[in-house]
Amino acid sequence: MGKRKRKKKALPKNRMRNITSSSLEDKIKKSGLFRGKNFTLVKGTGEKMSEVLLDFAEPLLDKLEDYPTIEKAISFAAVIWNLSLLPKSEQKKGLEDILKILGKDDPEMRRIGEDIARMLLDRKKKYFPNNKRFIINYEFGMKNGKPWLNVASTI
């Protein structure tokens, strides 16, 4: 869960860590997200955000078995993780925007999405209160029947 001891290693600002795949690194560089910004990519330093995200999404992943559903759950968890790092007023607006998309054609889906989002926001507060790293991008796959994840995040 979020209670294990975590090593912290200070790195200069504008660095990213936990990029373990060159394809993920290429994706970030090509995205233009950091165009005009000075930043350095750092691989495999400190706490693995892939493990953190899987721990965070565990209640969603626990009962899922098929790849597309697991992929959607991880994607939703990553969005809610980043949402949790915003100021409260922006969190509220962001959640409302997400729920509009989820409930566009199905009000029941909106209600379920809101319940899951609120559970994840509470989980972030309870188990990961000091982790303020934004998820920049990720790669997801299945390996030996288990989710495999590479995550690029801020420090």
The 10s digit of each residue's pLDDT in 20-61 is 455 656 666 666 666 666 666 666 657 889 999 999 999 999
Per-residue model confidence as pLDDT tens digits over 80-112: 999 999 999 999 999 999 999 988 889 899 999
H-run or E-run covering 41? strand 40-41
Domain boundaries, the chain: 17-28+39-154
Range 99-132 burial, b when 16+ CB lie within 10 A, else e: beebbeeeeeebeebbebbeebbebbeeebeebe
